[in-house]
Amino acid sequence: MPSTVSTQIQLAARPTGWPTNDDFRTVEVEYSAPSEGEVRVRNEYVSVDPYMRGRMNDVRSYVAPYALGERIVGGAIGRVVVSNAPELPVGAIVLHQHGWSDVIQADASTFRAVPEMPGVPLSLRLHILGMTGLTAYVGLTAIAHLQPGDTVFVSGAAGAVGTAVGQIAKLLGAARVIGSAGTPEKVALLTEKYGYDAAFNYKDGDVRAQLAAAAPDGIDVFFDNVGGDHLEAALDVFNDGGRAALCGAIAGYNTTAPTPGPDNMANIITRGLALRGFTLAGYLDLAPEFQQKMAGWFAEGRIAYDETIVEGIERTVDAFLDMMRGANTGKMLVRIAPEGGSSAA
């Protein structure tokens, strides 16, 4: 079995404020033939996600920070190209968390085989049919306890998780779903494609005032991907007994000074609100339930999605930086060119 060279992206320095290209480096790693129990996988898509920014800081979190001089790990999907493990033969499609590389070689136990779905892009396994969709489902059901007839507000609604949240909320019986986004085009997409009943551009003015206008009868559920002024706005318009699923706080990921807290936290007490943060690792037992429901919704044509795709492993950092600045609609992905060919399909 031949050796091969893998192009990988490592964390070179811990960012201060907004990350730059100088915080990363591209290296080549040579793999010899796989040892017993190992497989070599050529990635087809690599994921870039907001949570990765937090792992670049050397602080306590729900998962260990990235180590300097080591590959950025995260979601990816590819095909086995060389195998020394009978359970994962050549050609098998696998999901894994080995992250930012075009080729990865590791123990077969670190990969999960998934069936190919005719007519369905492999990339969807990294978002609406995978962890992104599951994150939306868990937040709405296990965390916010969505009830039929609820009014739901979603911050950062045009991103990968937000587009999933709006659709799943309506499918689970929400009466009204409201979203925020950062461009007029994204605002239009929310209402025209993703089933949102109302949406607003948070860059157009005071978020509190815009949400109050969009939710004259208040909200019951808040799915937060942003934090900051969006959380403050939600606290203003919550109905009694409202519930928040706190999934992300991208507004503060690149700040260098302490961010002031909401000035209306007393509403949590007076309105009997429940605000709960979550990460997906504690709720993976809900994956079979989600997958069964999502498979049905998808087969019925009730699920829409968008992808923003950047070509080539060498542009992974650019994709990550663009995603952090909101340049993506839906899921941001890096597509890896097939060996010896173009990635254009």
pLDDT in tens, 286-333: 999 999 999 999 999 999 999 999 999 999 999 999 999 989 988 999
pLDDT of residue 76: 98
**In which band, very low, low, confident or very high, does the pLDDT at 1 lie, cut at 50, 70 and 90?**
low
pLDDT surpasses 90 at 260: no
Give the range among 23-37, 96-110, 141-155, 242-256 with minimum mean pLDDT. Answer: 242-256
pLDDT of residue 62: 79
Percent of the chain whose predicted confidence (pLDDT) is above 70: 98
pLDDT surpasses 70 at 340: no
Tokens representing 150 are 């609820």
pLDDT surpasses 60 at 177: yes
Q: Which residues of 195-229 are buried (b: 16+ CB within 10 A; e: fewer)?
A: bbbbbbbbeeeebbebbeebbeeebbbbbbbbbbb
Rounded Cα distance, 65 and 318, in Å: 21
Give the range among 57-71, 197-211, 226-240, 305-319 with minimum mean pLDDT. Answer: 57-71
What pTM did the predictor assign?
0.91
pLDDT of residue 345: 32
The total number of residues shown for the chain amounts to: 345
Tokens representing 96 are 């894994």
Q: Where are the beta strands (DSSP E) in 111-182?
A: 111-113, 151-154, 176-181
